Structure 1
Amino acid sequence: MSTFFFACKEDKTKTAQLPAAPKGNAAIQAEGFIVKEKSLSENIEVPGSLLPFEETQIRPEISGRLVQLNIPEGNFVKKGYLLAKLFDGDLQAQLRKLQVQLEIATKTAERQKELLSINGISQQEYDLSELSINNLKADIELVRVSIVKTEIRAPYDGRIGLKAISLGAYITPTDIITSIVQVKELKLEFTIPEKYSDGMRKGQTVGFTVSGNSQKFSSTVLATETSIEATTRTLRVRAVVKGNNPSLVPGNFAKISLAMGKDENALIVPTQSIIPQARNKNAVVYSGGIAKFVPVVTGIRDSSYIQIVDGLKTGDTVIITGLLAIRPDSKVTLTKVQ
């Protein structure tokens, strides 16, 4: 008997804790919102990275021994600045040899030209002398190009990285001497979901912030990738950051703020008024004291409102509170209308 009494007492306690349901056909009290037009844009935040506008690994074009090394680590250099020099003594000797041969061949051709004028030699012999001169000139040009390749110069104005080689080392085209980056401008790279890809245009201004700095910076969209990434369903975007702000360092994490899909005359309702279903979305419309469930098609949204593309019209009143308790054709009393 004591066990039965305890169980009954426990059931009564649980029953007392349940919320009281509306009795009979009592109207449910709720708040409403009148559908209206308003300027609306969807603000999204995506991560990105700051990159140097240009970055190049400096390597030699030919193999050789380093005889000169002028790498000001961490400093800025001008385009054409001599960073390194390879041994070119053998090439210089070859150049002098060819220049002597050219001088002799030129004098020989001049003498043969005089002999040709008095028919002392054939035209063919003179033509062979001219051919020899032209071949020597080509060989000299080839050696000069090889000498130029022994000089390793900065390809553009930029900041030099750390030195990766020492004076006197024998290096090949696979060896990295140093690196150079162009930081007067920076690149900002990020990705956006594919549904926003149509809203990204070249020349568009993009705002962003970096970690540890509350200042807002701006960039200009330079280009977008030609296709959507199949695995992530995102579009890669590249923007240009003008100016050399010391707060912006290549490699910084950036938080990009984008205003997508702006509509000056969007039909809006509060986001909490939309009831998602398995296949569609519904809004509860207040009509003559009765709740009507209406399928709707939504568009862009911000933190408070969502655009209604189809299903409602300006002036309709939608219910925004008590939605869990409302059923189709329920009686509703509005306590407040926004």
Structure 2
Amino acid sequence: MKNKIGIFTILIVLLINTVSLAQSIPVRVVEAELKDLAEIKVVNGKIEPYKSIQISPEIGGIIDEVNVEVGDFVKKGQSLIVFDQDNLKAQLKQAEAAVELAQANLDMLENGATPEEIAQVEASYQSAMASFEGAKTGLEIIESIYHDKSDYKQQLTSSNTQLESGRKQLSIADEQLNQARVAYNQASTDYERMKTLYNEGAITRKEFEGVETQYKNAQSALKTAELGKEQAQINYNGALESYQIVEDVYQNPHSLKQQLDNARTQLEVARANLQTAEANLAKVKKGAREEERRSARASLKQSQASLELARIQFENSVVKSPNQGIISAVNVEVGEMLGAGTPVINLVDLDQVYVKVNVNADTLTRIKVGDQVSVDLLAFKDGISQGEITNISPVIDQQAQAYPVKILLDNEDNKIYGGMFADVSFILNRAENTVVIPINAVLDLDGNPYVFAVDGDKVVKKEIEIGIINANELEVIDGISPEDILVIQGQNSLQNGDLVEVVD
């Protein structure tokens, strides 16, 4: 009897334990919570320089200097290469001289000639007058001889006397010219020396102006002496020609008719030269006409334009950096001949960089220019940076079959280089203060999603409506409430109403 009671007791205990094990399933749980959630798409991209500039010279020529190497950091305006400048300097000086000459001509036409300029024109007129008188006298001599052929000997003696007088005047004029040149050279030397001292502040303006006046007087005296020598030479040449005519007639009376014709021709030429000199003198004394002044102004503008072009060409002989950045390529050497427009240096600006990524159409429709994104620089341990979307291509890249997008990053320390890789996290959707649960709490995620919620010692199957999904969590729009306890481990074997035991 006792054995039967013992066996019965054991069977009851085993039955209780079996029922208990069948009805209580161990599970792990988590509490649904209210918080913000974002849908994030991570796309891999590549770093590109903010700017990559190919630098080409505006002019051609021989390279005289190359001042940079690959890897050098350069500032804006820094000299990179220099062309040979000798010819350009000469062209610049010629252009400057042309402007000075055009300005002086315009000043003379608008303000009238200076006394020195008037004196020079008057001296030219006097020289032309002397030539005319000499030609006239020569013709008179020939005509006298031609009409009176009785005494060639007397004519020859008279012509010889005039020739000797002309030779003496020429000698005196030559000596005066030499003295004027010596005086001018000395005045020029003194002027240049005092000009330097004045520019350095070593002498007063009054002292400099005194030397400048002496220099101008010496210059004017030299011009007068040169004109005097020229006039004496003309007189001498006229006397020599008359003497040669008379001597020729004396030696060969039959050539007299030819000499007479030549003398008449020379007189006409001298008369034309005199008329030109007389017109020039009248113009200087009277002043220029308005059309002459307009022509002089136009000439000055043209000279100034040529000077500006020469200056630009000279400035372009030094190729400067248009931006600060790092030299990534140098394609030229000293002594090399280059043509204008030939790429010689490549400059990259790395103060900012782009991350270029390709996104699909679904991502494209949910981002916009100006969005802030997280960028993970894979080359750095702590390489998380914030960037801004600056460019979204509206046209698909046929090779990648995706849309190119650019994100701008600051890179003030220049540690990020072109070609590095980065992961860009795009926020495609965002929900605030919403019900969020772990993604592993959901069953049949792609079909009719549901969860098991713990209610006392049992579980209740709840179908849910899902919103945003990211890597580890998701939003529940409908089906559960905040603070619901959800099974996240052991739920695969559960049925609605099963007994459970929470083990964690």
Q: TM-score, normalised by structure 2?
A: 0.50
Return the offset for 1:148: 1.9
1:97 counterpart = 2:94: yes
Q: Which residue of 1 aligns with 2:161?
A: none
Query: 292, 296, 308: which is aligned to 1:129?
Result: 296
Matched letter for residue 59 of structure 1: S
SS in 1 for 2:110: helix
Return the offset for 1:118: 7.6
Change (3 A) 1:244 1:331: closer
Structure 2 contact 373–424 (Cα < 8 Å) conserved: no
Return the offset for 1:225: 1.9
SS in 1 for 2:381: strand
Deviation readout 1:228-261 (Å, 9 max, x if unpaired)? 7476455613122233164x33322223456664
Change (3 A) 1:146 1:41: same
Return the offset for 1:89: 3.7
1:56, 1:230 → 2: CA distance? 24
1:335 counterpart = 2:497: no
Q: Which residue of 1 aligns with 2:82?
A: 85
Return the offset for 1:332: 4.3
Count of aligned positions: 305
1:266 counterpart = 2:434: yes
Deviation readout 1:197-236 (Å, 9 max, x if unpaired)? 646663736342323x322342432624264747645561
1:104, 1:245 → 2: CA distance? 54
Q: Note the 1:314-325 alignment, pairs <5 A.
A: 314=482
Change (3 A) 1:309 1:192: farther
Matched letter for residue 244 of structure 1: D
Q: Note the 1:160-171 alignment, pairs <5 A.
A: 160-171=327-338
Change (3 A) 1:76 1:314: closer
Q: Which residue of 2 aligns with 1:190?
A: 357
Structure 1 contact 48–253 (Cα < 8 Å) conserved: yes
Query: 301, 304, 307: which is aligned to 2:470?
Result: 301
Change (3 A) 1:287 1:308: same
SS in 2 for 1:161: strand
Change (3 A) 1:323 1:41: same
Change (3 A) 1:285 1:118: farther
Change (3 A) 1:122 1:183: same
Q: Which residue of 2 aligns with 1:3?
A: none
Return the offset for 1:43: 4.7
Change (3 A) 1:160 1:123: same
List runs of 5+ in structure 1 lacking aligned partners.
1-25
Return the offset for 1:131: 0.9
Query: 370, 391, 398: which is aligned to 1:202?
Result: 370
Q: Which residue of 2 aligns with 1:16?
A: none
SS in 1 for 2:412: coil
Matched letter for residue 378 of structure 2: V
Query: 135, 139, 146: which is aligned to 2:306?
Result: 139
1:65 counterpart = 2:62: yes
Structure 1 contact 39–263 (Cα < 8 Å) conserved: yes
Change (3 A) 1:45 1:97: same
Aligned residues with identical type, % of pairs: 19
User: Comparing both structures, which one devotes a greater share of its residues to strand?
Assistant: 1
Deviation readout 1:105-162 (Å, 9 max, x if unpaired)? 2222222224599864321121111111111111211222122222211222222234
Change (3 A) 1:101 1:283: same
1:172, 1:236 → 2: CA distance? 38
Q: Which residue of 2 aligns with 1:20?
A: none
2:477, 2:393 → 1: CA distance? 29
Q: TM-score, normalised by structure 1?
A: 0.71
1:200, 1:336 → 2: CA distance? 49
2:369, 2:329 → 1: CA distance? 38
Which is worse superposed, 198-207 or 316-325? 316-325
Structure 1 contact 284–293 (Cα < 8 Å) conserved: yes
SS in 1 for 2:103: helix
2:348, 2:397 → 1: CA distance? 32
* Structure with greater Cα Rg: 2
2:476, 2:426 → 1: CA distance? 21
2:90, 2:450 → 1: CA distance? 89
Q: Which residue of 1 aligns with 2:47?
A: 50
Structure 1 contact 35–268 (Cα < 8 Å) conserved: yes
2:499, 2:368 → 1: CA distance? 43
1:74 counterpart = 2:71: yes
Q: Note the 1:276-295 alignment, pairs <5 A.
A: 276-277=445-446, 281-283=448-450, 294=463
Deviation readout 1:161-207 (Å, 9 max, x if unpaired)? 34322211122345332222233444333355543764666373634
List runs of 5+ in structure 2 lacking aligned partners.
1-21, 113-282
SS in 1 for 2:498: strand
Structure 1 contact 29–332 (Cα < 8 Å) conserved: no
Change (3 A) 1:281 1:269: farther
Query: 318, 325, 328: which is aligned to 1:158?
Result: 325
2:58, 2:437 → 1: CA distance? 65
Structure 1 contact 298–310 (Cα < 8 Å) conserved: no
Return the offset for 1:312: 5.0
Change (3 A) 1:61 1:336: farther
User: Comparing both structures, which one devotes a greater share of its residues to helix?
Assistant: 2
